[in-house]
Structure formats: structure tokens, C-alpha cells
Amino acid sequence: MHDFTPISALAGGALIGLAAAWLLWANGRIAGVSGVLFGLLPPSSSADARWRIAFLAGLLAGGFLYGFATPGPLPARTGFPLVHVALAGLLVGFGTRMGGGCTSGHGVCGLGRLSPRSLVAVVAFMAAGMVATYVMRHVLGAGT
């Protein structure tokens, strides 16, 4: 665990929780990224689209700000063929639609609201992530 950074992890988690609570309080909306993004597809109202675009722009801006605030370049991940990355992205998208939301919606917002459906979804996400990590690292030898 040479990359364990509890202070930044705690600060990031607190900021995500505050942002999710603020969106729920201010707009009555759940901060599930896939749902926010899906809501931009037609038909959507312009007033509804404005907060969604602002939310997604804030996610991108936060990533860029972190990149500028971090000393030195961020390490690039290597050893993952583009086909595997594309397949993983498609599977995540499929699972998001099939599960009725993404990890942010279920994990951060759903569990905070004590949703039984979100608890089942998070357990499934975690189990699938553990299996995928095992297969990628120990069976396929990628990412080591």
C-alpha cells in the first residue's frame, strides 16, 4: 500500500458528499453522474439541461484543477490494450443502464438515503470489481 493517502482520500470523499448533499438540497436531484449525463439526451428542457451541463463542467474543472495543483506529472497507466479499455467502457455503460444507475448514484447518494436497491447495487459493483481486478492482474497479467 505504497500509494495510500488517507488525508486526500478523506478530503475528496467529504467534498463529494457535500456536493451530492448540496445538489439534493438545492435542486432535489440525485448526483448520479450517468443519470445527469443521460438527462441531457432529447427530450430535455433547457432549464434542466443548464444544471446538468454545469454539474458535468464542474466535474471536468475539478479534474483539471487537481492536475494543476499536484506537483509533477500524474503517472500514466500502461499495459492495458485499447481493446480491453474499450470493452471495459462498454461493459460499464451496459451495467449502468441495467443497474438503474452508476456507482456515484447508488454508492454516494443511494446508500446515504438508505436505499435497499442501492445497497444491492453497491454489493454487486464491489464484487464485480474484485473479480475483474483478479482476472486482469492474475489471469491476464495486465497492469502489473
Residue 144 lies in a domain: no
Note the pTM of the prediction, 2 decimals. Answer: 0.72
Exposed/middle/buried for residue 133 (C-beta within 10 Å: 0-12, 13-18, 19+): exposed
Q: 109: closest CA among 41, 12, 16?
A: 16
Which pLDDT belongs to residue 61? 94
Whether the CB-CB separation of 32 and 105 falls below 8 Å is answered with yes
Helix runs in 3-69, H state only: 6-27, 33-38, 46-69
Residue 16 lies in a domain: yes
Residue 73 lies in a domain: yes
Q: Which three cell numbers stand for residue 131?
A: 473479480
Give the range of the structural domain holding residue 88, as residue numbers without chain letter.
6-139
Domain count, the chain: 1
Residue 132 lies in a domain: yes
Residue 128 lies in a domain: yes
Which pLDDT belongs to residue 57? 94
Residue 14 lies in a domain: yes
Which pLDDT belongs to residue 77? 75
Residue 1 lies in a domain: no
pLDDT along the chain (144 residues), means of 10: 78 88 88 85 80 91 86 77 87 81 84 90 90 90 70
Residue 44 lies in a domain: yes
Which pLDDT belongs to residue 73? 77
